[in-house]
A and B are shown apart, each in its own frame.
Chain A
Amino acid sequence: MHIAEGFLPLTHCVVWGLASAPFVVHGARSVITQAKENPESKLLLAAAGAFTFMMSAIKLPSVTGSSSHPTGTGAGAILFKPPVMAFMGTVVLVFQALLLAHGGLTTLGANVFSMAIAGPWAGYAVWVALRGARAPMEVSVFFAMATANLVTYVVTSLQLALAYPDPDLLGAFGKFATVFALTQVPLAIMEGIVGVLLFRFLAKVVPPELARRGIIAAPVKDAAHA
């Protein structure tokens, strides 16, 4: 769901850049704090960034100079919290623009706002709400990851509608959202299902990592034999 280079008018590029900047700066500050307190967290964050890059490099053509793909940011928000994803998402988007010609530098602010801010925050809110309501991990992961993906697509549709409001904003939003939905809704459902299987796999293989992040309860240790 990256808007291609040159597709937004200059004023929109500036406004979305300004809107994203506080979130990215806040994320960068929390990354710097984490890195100072715990230098090895740099490597884990880098691994998460590289993983998000690989996930979102799978892309399908969609409407209006944009593309559809799994975002991976829902999983990142659950594992590392949304502020960190705002910064890591920005790094990933810059790499995608320069290494894959996917997205762009002038549309970076808009793409950061949809994929690295709105999507992760919405997904994380759903995760917290469902876990607060004692929903099972699988249900919470499915809805969090699907929501992160869908909110990213809704915000991208809104950004495009604001840039090209023909015949009016609502009509344009309906047009972009409808055509986008052909590829993005199935992808969001698929990302939710893959997310459930992914977290099940992680809970089975690396439970201490998930427990340390508060995603699952800490594994109970067997009493040592005397």
Chain B
Amino acid sequence: MAHLTALDDAAWQGPWRAVRVGEKVVLSVGLLVTALVSPPWPGCVLVAIACVALTCGPARIPPRTLAIAMAPALTFLVIGGVTVAVVLGGTPTPNAFFAWGPLWADPATVSKGVTAFSRGVSGTLSVMLLATTTPMVDLLTWLRSLGMPSPLVDIASLTYRLLFVLLSSALAIHAAQTARLGRISVATAASATGSLLIRSWAHAARLQAGLEGRGYTGDLPTLPRARSASPAFLATALAVVGAVWAANLAVILT
């Protein structure tokens, strides 16, 4: 289950941690929206290339980390693209590629499947650009600075911190069951799940007691890390997104 923390670990160690969160959000969301409204060629392909190049280039995220993160998403997207491309029921069009019983596909439906797949891949890579360069703690601090109510940010921060505690608890429960040569059954799975829930409550109660001992008043602010604005980063981000839009327009006009 260590892969659950792979993206966040990469974000903590990468050089783009020093870049302002807002600037990274502009780049990632700009590419994401571009992917969502672009045709597969050139828009989605260029967004995907830009994301991989930026993630594995200047952001120095190991390609293996990106590949591990993308593998499950790619599986879903391939299956999804095929499901959109193949129609169930209705009357096959005269130019259908095949018609097997109620299943058929023609150029229009295949085009829809390819579009959905390419938007999915480029969109996921756009989000990965943000996820692999920005730890969740930085994102939550940024949301607090934007005016998100403190209790909500506190709960989200605590949830994030408890994830790692629960992950280690789950691994400990699994190791203990393995050491006892325990059989996997529905009953043992339910007991393990119940143990995990009770452990999470116990951790929360102990955290509460610790906070009260330190004079907890209901707020859990953390000191934000000071980061200077980078006009060069912002200009590059806008240039990358603008270049993809220019390529899209060029293809449409020709």
B141 within 8 A of A: no
Separation of A10 and B127 alpha carbons in the complex (Å)? 16
Assess the B189–A54 pair: CB atoms within 8 A: no
Assess the B122–A168 pair: CB atoms within 8 A: no
Q: Which of B163-213 contact A (CB under 8 A)?
A: 163, 165-167, 170, 186-187, 189-191, 193-198, 200-201, 203-205, 207-208
Asked, given contacts A91-B159, A106-B123, whether A194 binds B190 with beta carbons under 8 Å apart, the answer is yes
For the complex, count residues of B whose C-beta is within 8 A of A. Answer: 79
User: Total A-B pairs in contact (CB under 8 Å)?
Assistant: 235
Q: Pick the interface stretch among B12-20, B68-76, B245-253.
A: B68-76
Digitize B118-142: 1 where CB-to-A-CB distance is under 8 Å, 0 elsewhere: 0111111011101100001001000
Asked, given contacts A7-B80, A101-B127, whether A198 binds B7 with beta carbons under 8 Å apart, the answer is no
In-complex Cβ contact of B136 among A32, A51, A95 (8 A): A95
Q: Pick the interface stretch among B52-60, B82-90, B226-234, B236-244.
A: B82-90
Asked, given contacts A98-B7, A99-B136, A100-B7, whether A167 binds B89 with beta carbons under 8 Å apart, the answer is yes
In-complex Cβ contact of A198 among B8, B75, B128, B194 (8 A): B194
**Whose C-beta in chain B lies nearest to the C-beta of A168?**
B90
CB distance from A54 to the nearest CB of B (A): 5
Asked, given contacts A6-B122, A7-B116, A65-B120, whether A13 binds B36 with beta carbons under 8 Å apart, the answer is yes
Assess the B77–A65 pair: CB atoms within 8 A: yes
Separation of A128 and B105 alpha carbons in the complex (Å)? 46
Assess the B80–A99 pair: CB atoms within 8 A: no
Assess the B89–A171 pair: CB atoms within 8 A: yes
Separation of A50 and B156 alpha carbons in the complex (Å)? 9
CB distance from A81 to the nearest CB of B (A): 15
A222 within 8 A of B: no
A47 within 8 A of B: yes
Asked, given contacts A31-B155, A101-B70, A101-B127, whether A164 binds B218 with beta carbons under 8 Å apart, the answer is no
A26 within 8 A of B: no
Separation of A200 and B197 alpha carbons in the complex (Å)? 13
Chain A residues closer than 8 Å to B127, beta-carbon distance: 5, 97-98, 101, 104-105
Chain B residues closer than 8 Å to A99, beta-carbon distance: 4-5, 7-8, 131, 136, 163
* Given pairs A9-B36, A46-B161, A97-B127, 4 additional interface contacts (CB within 8 A): A49-B162, A54-B167, A61-B79, A175-B88
